[in-house]
Structure 1
Amino acid sequence: MFIHKVDEDVSLKLIELRDADRVFNLTNNSRNYLRQWLPWLDFTTKLEDTQEFIKMCLKDFAENKSINAVILFKGEIVGIAGFNRINWSNKTASIGYWLGEEYQGNGIVTKVAKALTSYAFNDLKLNKVEIRAAVGNLKSRNIPERLGFINEGCIRQSEWLYDHYVDSVVYGMLAHEWNNH
């Protein structure tokens, strides 16, 4: 089981099947908001879709390929964050996150991304952490920028978003940079 306390109000807990109702409802309630930047909303239309997602997350966690956690804010699930993939041979990880619309603007994801980055370097002993965000997704891009990640460039048309491609900015942080800032 993965549990990581970020601060008094925020923590991360490995996603579990018993979280499915809350995660699905949070997704459903923020569907239009999340759909602006996340490509999977049309594939998550019923509770069973969220349950299948959680099963996949747990399988990947058991196989040491990723860590997907629920974000708890004052004890309530408010989003998902974690390492979408961990590449052990290259010692890299990619952080992903989303937050229910009503919880935006509280600094939650910045705290979570900072905690995950520290965990990657200090506990997992990785060398690099990446965060990718669509060029136009300024709220998401602000997070790695606030944390001092380096803008490593733009990947053109990297993601299909329902009816169009979006370009993604790749942000990177190296272990020695993180531990020296």
Structure 2
Amino acid sequence: MFLHKIDDELSLKLIDLRDADKLFKLTDHSRNHLRNWLPWLDFTTKQEDTKSFIEGCLRAYAENKSLNAVIVYKGELAGTAGFNQINWSNRTAYIGYWLGAEFQGNGIMTKVAGALTDIAFQEYNLNKVEIRAAVLNTKSRSIPERLGFVHEGNIRQAEWLYDHFVDHAVYGMLANEWKQK
């Protein structure tokens, strides 16, 4: 089982079916906040949907295709983060994350994304980490920017968000660049 302590208040834990109730409640409570940038909220309307998501995450983890973790902050489930996909042939991991509305502004996600980047390079021996965020999602984009990721460009109309397309900003970090930091 994956468990990574970041500091005394913050850790990442492999997502587990026992997290379903708390994760669904956090999702439901943060629905309006998250809806601005995440396209899956209309498909997560009951706890059973969250359980199905977790089962898929655990299958993908067992198949070594991804790593989805819950963020535990001061003993509370605060959101999720991880490698949405790991491309082993290209040695690249793609970080995704979201945080409940009440947990924002504490520096949590910057620490989490930094820890995941460490894991990608030090434990998984990958060469690149990518983070993508909607171009207008300045809060999400500030995470890779604070960590020194390179803005590699934008992908036009990269994602359908309920009733419109959004462009994505792509950020990348190479293993040799991370080691120099």
Normalised by the shorter chain, which TM-score bucket? Answer: over 0.9
Instruction: Using the TM superposition, give the Cα deviation of residue 110 of structure 1 relative to its aligned residue in structure 2, in angstroms.
Output: 0.3
Alignment of 1:142 with 2:142, yes or no, is yes
Aligned twin of 1:106: 106
Q: How does 1:49-68 map to 2 (within 5 A)?
A: 49-68=49-68
User: Partner of 1:89: helix, strand, or coil?
Assistant: coil
Partner Cα separation in structure 1 for residue 78 and residue 174 of structure 2 = 29
What is the count of residue pairs matched by the alignment?
181
Alignment of 1:81 with 2:102, yes or no, is no
Aligned twin of 2:123: 123
Structure 2 gaps of 5+ residues are: none
Q: Identity over the aligned pairs, expressed in percent?
A: 70
Partner Cα separation in structure 2 for residue 36 and residue 145 of structure 1 = 20
Partner Cα separation in structure 2 for residue 8 and residue 155 of structure 1 = 38
Structure 1 gaps of 5+ residues are: none
Instruction: Using the TM superposition, give the Cα deviation of residue 75 of structure 1 relative to its aligned residue in structure 2, in angstroms.
Output: 1.3
Aligned twin of 1:95: 95
Partner Cα separation in structure 2 for residue 156 and residue 10 of structure 1 = 35
Aligned twin of 1:133: 133
Aligned twin of 2:165: 165
TM-align CA RMSD: 0.3
Letter in 2 for 1:137: N
Aligned twin of 2:27: 27
Partner Cα separation in structure 2 for residue 85 and residue 6 of structure 1 = 22
Partner Cα separation in structure 2 for residue 150 and residue 139 of structure 1 = 16
Partner Cα separation in structure 2 for residue 93 and residue 18 of structure 1 = 26
Partner Cα separation in structure 1 for residue 166 and residue 90 of structure 2 = 27
Aligned twin of 2:48: 48
Partner Cα separation in structure 2 for residue 101 and residue 160 of structure 1 = 22
Partner Cα separation in structure 1 for residue 83 and residue 7 of structure 2 = 19
Partner Cα separation in structure 2 for residue 171 and residue 7 of structure 1 = 25
Q: Which runs of 4+ in 1 moved over 4 A?
A: none
Aligned twin of 2:72: 72
Instruction: Using the TM superposition, give the Cα deviation of residue 74 of structure 1 relative to its aligned residue in structure 2, in angstroms.
Output: 0.8
Instruction: Using the TM superposition, give the Cα deviation of residue 39 of structure 1 relative to its aligned residue in structure 2, in angstroms.
Output: 0.3
Instruction: Using the TM superposition, give the Cα deviation of residue 93 of structure 1 relative to its aligned residue in structure 2, in angstroms.
Output: 0.3
Partner Cα separation in structure 2 for residue 167 and residue 145 of structure 1 = 17
Aligned twin of 1:9: 9
